[in-house]
A and B are shown apart, each in its own frame.
Chain A
Amino acid sequence: MELLRFATAGSVDDGKSTLIGRLLLETKQIFEDQLEAVERTSRDKGFDYTNLALLTDGLRAEREQGITIDVAYRYFATPRRKFIIADTPGHIQYTRNMVTGASTADLALVLVDARKGVLEQSKRHAVIASLLQVKHLVLCVNKMDLVEFDEARFDEICEEFSDFAAKLDIDDLAFIPVSALLGDNVVTHSPNTPWYEGPTLLHHLEHVYIGSDRNLIDARFPVQYVVRPMSHDHHDYRGYAGQVASGMFRPGDEVLVLPSGFTTTIAGIDEYGGPVDQAYPPMSVNIRLAEELDVSRGDMFARPHNAPTVTQDVDAMICWFSERPLQAGQTYGVKHTTRTARARIQDLNYRLDVNSLHREDDHPALAMNDIGRISIRTTVPLFVDEYRRNRITGSFILIDEGTFETVGAGMILAASAG
């Protein structure tokens, strides 16, 4: 069975948590004790309906305020697929948590309120999904019941959103009219929208094709850990443990070891208990090399004729998470694949206005939740690919060296060799 990870995003009160509650309820993933608890709380709070959002708002502060603060992960399965939902907050203050949820998603589900149309938040979420290379985007026009399931209103919103999305990097865009509260078009086709001939939300999630989203071309293996048992049975065993980032590896393949630049061949690939014929993403394996070389954590295996750029200078889009602004000249810790280093912000090229997509190049700093383009220089070379081509070797995080907090998420645009 295939795994689909998707992130949901929407503005405050767009009904995102309700939609997830509905999906879980109708796919029978809600247990009786959970439903009873939600019904009880709904009654206690004086709601005249069962507030399904209470199923996912797991923190006291969220239930008190009726908003989602942090990502909640939910799981459900149908006979066709297993799903991991990252239910992310809509509020701008918690954008960083949306980025967290979207970073591993195959698909992003953005909600808009049919009465309000496409808001700045909806655009922001689409921009973030596009920036993070979430390949598939679904716009759920929710609360259709409150606009009398009006086709013209639905079309109007789709058109407005399409115009905006045309400027983004989105491969696949779908529009679905739903009522999360009442269940229209979530799992079953709604009699209220005879004009809508597309799939229900669940059908779309079950069938959207994600098989080609992975990079099986560029062989990249960041070395994570060196397995050296030094035991009687495995006296000379030396396995380079890691998770395949992209591409395929097979015994006998010629590999380039970075940063040393040596080439050798793969003697064998092991999983627990024994060898395997091939390794592809996201398999975690041990790779053994034919020759004894100096290889340690943070190094990378690639191919002699298909290698990442080895560089200390990287241009990237960055989502900024910290209350302390990002400015040129500052230094941070950087983690890229299994490699850690320090990085200096050489230049803040521009701040992106997510509403207009204008590049504002006179901004001296990025504030919390801002998105911008930066150039960094790192203390040691990184082995990078463009994020568009490779989500693993194209991404990094910045860490504040005073607070140790994760303050930025970077997506590499281009790297200059050397």
Chain B
Amino acid sequence: MEPIMEPLVRICRVRGAYPWTGMTTQLSHLNALESESIHIFREVAAEFEKPVLLFSGGKDSAVMLRLAEKAFWPAKIPFPLMHIDTGQNFPEALDYRDRRVAELGVKLIVASVQDSIDSGRVVEETGPKASRNRLQTTTLLDAITEHAFDAVFGGGRRDEEKARAKERVYSFRDEFGQWDPKNQRPELWNLYNGRHRKGEHIRIFPLSNWTELDVWHYVADDGVELPSIYYAHRREVFRRDGMLLAVTPFVTVMDGEEPEEMMVRFRTVGDASCTGAVESSASTVEQVILEVAASRLTERGETRADDRISEAGMEDRKREGYF
């Protein structure tokens, strides 16, 4: 396999310094993306009554939170964080979540899928491949209603998946939390239209224009801390549907599946029941960037069982109100 995009790895992020052009007033692409995201955060804080930032402890929400921190510095982030907790977390992600919340002095709301199950709002899937992934939508929408949130920040990126590639930065949701992809508001320049009625809300995607590699470069350049499971470590895993799933209390190992200890890292961090690991020896952010740049599989295709449902899996879930 020939190396792809190898030169990207050598990007140096020196503000305004373009040795080959002599320009001093040009932002690097990462700085331009950062500025765009900060602009979005400030627009929302200025125009909405009750925003909330969805924080899972994954790398995208980690970068999103970092950008929010920058947008309001030296003041604190002027809205709470919310974790939609499936109850099937990697402990490293939870530790990380709690540490960041403490550092920033912000409020964390935990909306629990277990509570939705206990109260009969949703019925848990059964069988060895059961996942709570889809159930999160109900928990999320119920929490948005309960707290009367009118703007909900999500870490979705357009490069992740082709239905996401269609989504606006400000994505209108009706009173049922539904997305209508065929009838989105035109979104021009940096003039975002957040008008809505009571009970409706807007999903906000500050990382819309970031790619997976941009996120990693930013993590490297900015020194963003991530949960340790993003880096190579030894873990007991087994193969299912071409993915490496971690052996956790949330997954039933079936006959014929043979757990073994391997060096792995996670490329995405979601619900432990449906997030796969990849074999890796990348223990530093620089090594991860090299691996990501050379990868021939998308992060979701490689590590998310939930996206393998059908070609329209993400679109269908998004229509229902998923992240």
C-alpha gap A338/B162 in the complex (Å):
31
Q: Closest chain A residue to B36 by CB distance? A: A282
Chain A residues with Cβ below 8 Å from B181 are 59, 61, 70
Chain A residues with Cβ below 8 Å from B211 are 75, 77
C-alpha gap A411/B71 in the complex (Å):
29
C-alpha gap A396/B190 in the complex (Å):
10
Known: A77-B5, A225-B42. A70 touches B190 (CB 8 A): no
Quick check: is B29 within 8 A (CB to CB) of the other chain?
Answer: yes
Stretch at the interface among B124-132, B140-148, B193-201, B246-254: B193-201
Per a CB cutoff under 8 Å, which of A58, A229, A282 touches B27? A282
C-alpha gap A384/B59 in the complex (Å):
40
- The contact size tier of chain B is 35 or more
Interface-central residue, B11, B18, B296, by most chain A CB under 10 Å: B296
Question: How many residue pairs bridge A and B at CB < 8 Å?
Answer: 190
Task: Find residues 317-368 in chain A having any chain B CB closer than 8 Å to their own CB.
Answer: 321, 333, 335-336, 338
On whether the beta carbons of A284 and B74 are closer than 8 Å, the reply is: no
Known: A31-B297, A31-B298, A227-B72. A335 touches B193 (CB 8 A): yes
On whether the beta carbons of B75 and A231 are closer than 8 Å, the reply is: yes
Chain A residues with Cβ below 8 Å from B33 are 3
On whether the beta carbons of B189 and A33 are closer than 8 Å, the reply is: no
Q: How far is the CB of A1 from chain B (nearest CB, A)?
A: 5
Q: How far is the CB of A309 from chain B (nearest CB, A)?
A: 19
Q: How far is the CB of A308 from chain B (nearest CB, A)?
A: 16
Per a CB cutoff under 8 Å, which of A56, A214, A336, A392 touches B162? A56
C-alpha gap A57/B35 in the complex (Å):
29
Chain A residues with Cβ below 8 Å from B75 are 227-231, 234, 237
Quick check: is A310 within 8 A (CB to CB) of the other chain?
Answer: no
Quick check: is B4 within 8 A (CB to CB) of the other chain?
Answer: yes
C-alpha gap A60/B313 in the complex (Å):
10
Known: A73-B208, A237-B74, A272-B73. A248 touches B25 (CB 8 A): yes
On whether the beta carbons of A225 and B45 are closer than 8 Å, the reply is: yes
On whether the beta carbons of A391 and B76 are closer than 8 Å, the reply is: no
B73-108 interface code vs A (CB 8 A; 1 in, 0 out): 111100000000000000000000000000000000
Known: A28-B4, A59-B182, A406-B187. A280 touches B74 (CB 8 A): no
C-alpha gap A397/B192 in the complex (Å):
9
Stretch at the interface among A96-104, A113-121, A145-153, A160-168: A96-104
Chain A residues with Cβ below 8 Å from B74 are 227, 229, 231, 233-234, 237, 239
Quick check: is B123 within 8 A (CB to CB) of the other chain?
Answer: no
On whether the beta carbons of A280 and B43 are closer than 8 Å, the reply is: no
Per a CB cutoff under 8 Å, which of A70, A79, A103, A243 touches B182? A70
Task: Find residues 1-28 in chain B having any chain A CB closer than 8 Å to their own CB.
Answer: 2, 4-5, 7-8, 11, 18, 21, 23, 25-28
A267-294 interface code vs B (CB 8 A; 1 in, 0 out): 0001111000010101110100000000
Quick check: is A307 within 8 A (CB to CB) of the other chain?
Answer: no
Quick check: is A12 within 8 A (CB to CB) of the other chain?
Answer: no
C-alpha gap A72/B158 in the complex (Å):
8
Chain A residues with Cβ below 8 Å from B190 are 104, 243, 392
Chain B residues with Cβ below 8 Å from A55 are 162
C-alpha gap A95/B27 in the complex (Å):
31
A215-243 interface code vs B (CB 8 A; 1 in, 0 out): 01000000011011111011001010111
Q: How far is the CB of A323 from chain B (nearest CB, A)?
A: 11
Q: Closest chain A residue to B21 by CB distance? A: A211
Quick check: is A69 within 8 A (CB to CB) of the other chain?
Answer: yes
Quick check: is A71 within 8 A (CB to CB) of the other chain?
Answer: yes
On whether the beta carbons of B42 and A284 are closer than 8 Å, the reply is: yes
C-alpha gap A321/B39 in the complex (Å):
25
Chain A residues with Cβ below 8 Å from B186 are 96-97, 99-100, 321, 397, 406, 409
Quick check: is B295 within 8 A (CB to CB) of the other chain?
Answer: yes
C-alpha gap A204/B158 in the complex (Å):
25
Quick check: is A375 within 8 A (CB to CB) of the other chain?
Answer: no
Q: How far is the CB of B68 from chain A (nearest CB, A)?
A: 11
C-alpha gap A33/B297 in the complex (Å):
6
Known: A59-B315, A75-B158, A79-B7. A70 touches B184 (CB 8 A): yes
Per a CB cutoff under 8 Å, which of A74, A283, A391, A404 touches B189? A391
Quick check: is A399 within 8 A (CB to CB) of the other chain?
Answer: yes
Q: Closest chain A residue to B4 by CB distance? A: A28
Quick check: is A405 within 8 A (CB to CB) of the other chain?
Answer: yes
A-B contact pairs, 28 of them (CB 8 A): A2-B28, A58-B166, A60-B311, A70-B181, A72-B162, A72-B165, A73-B209, A74-B165, A75-B159, A96-B186, A97-B186, A100-B188, A103-B188, A211-B26, A225-B42, A239-B74, A241-B72, A272-B69, A282-B32, A282-B35, A284-B38, A338-B43, A392-B189, A395-B191, A397-B188, A397-B193, A404-B196, A406-B193
List the 5 closest pairs (A to B, CB-CB), nearest first: A58-B162, A33-B301, A79-B7, A404-B195, A272-B70
Other A-B contacts than A75-B158, A392-B189, 16 sampled, CB-CB below 8 A, are A31-B295, A32-B296, A33-B298, A34-B298, A63-B311, A72-B166, A77-B213, A104-B188, A214-B25, A224-B43, A231-B76, A241-B71, A286-B73, A297-B46, A338-B43, A397-B186
Interface residues of B (CB under 8 A from A): 2, 4-5, 7-8, 11, 18, 21, 23, 25-29, 31-36, 38-39, 42-43, 45-46, 69-76, 158-159, 161-166, 181-182, 184-191, 193, 195-197, 208-209, 211, 213, 295-298, 301-302, 311-312, 315
